[in-house]
Amino acid sequence: MKIRSIDIYILDIPTVRPHQLAMHTIVAQTIVVARVTNEEGLEGWAEVATIGGASYGEGTPEAIKANIDQYIRPHLIGKNPVYFSKIMFNISKAVRGNQFAKAVVEAAMIDLLAKGKNVPAYELLGGKVHDSLPLAWTLASGDTGKDIEEAKEFLHQKRHKIFKLKIGKGDPYKNVDHVLKIIAAVGDQARVTVDINQAWDETTANYCIEALQEGGVSMVEQPLPTWNYEGMARLTARFKVPIMADESANSVHEVYQIAKHRYGNSMALKPCKHGGLLETKKVAAIAEGAGFGLYGGTMIESSLGTAVCASVYATISEFEFGTELFGPMLFKDKITTNDVQFENFEIIIPDGPGFGMEIDFEKVKHYSREY
Q: Which residues are catalytic?
A: 166
CA separation for the pair 308, 135 (Å, rounded) = 15
Give whole-number Cα distances, 22 to 69, 194, 247, 262, in Å.
32, 12, 13, 24
Give every CB contact of residue 208 below 8 A, 6+ residues apart in sequence.
172, 173, 175, 176, 200, 223
CA separation for the pair 42, 4 (Å, rounded) = 10
Q: How many CA atoms within 13 Å lie on the side-chain side of 94?
A: 16
CA separation for the pair 261, 230 (Å, rounded) = 9
Give whole-number Cα distances, 234 to 108, 207, 239, 240, in Å.
40, 13, 9, 12
Closest among 345, 284, 274 to 59, alpha carbons compared: 274
Give every CB contact of residue 16 below 8 A, 6+ residues apart in sequence.
329, 330, 331, 332
Helix axes 252-261, 229-238, angle to 10 degrees: 40
Find the angle CA(357)-CA(360)-CA(361) to the nearest 5 degrees: 125
CA separation for the pair 317, 294 (Å, rounded) = 10
Question: How many residues belong to the chain?
Answer: 371
Helix axes 303-313, 277-289, angle to 10 degrees: 40
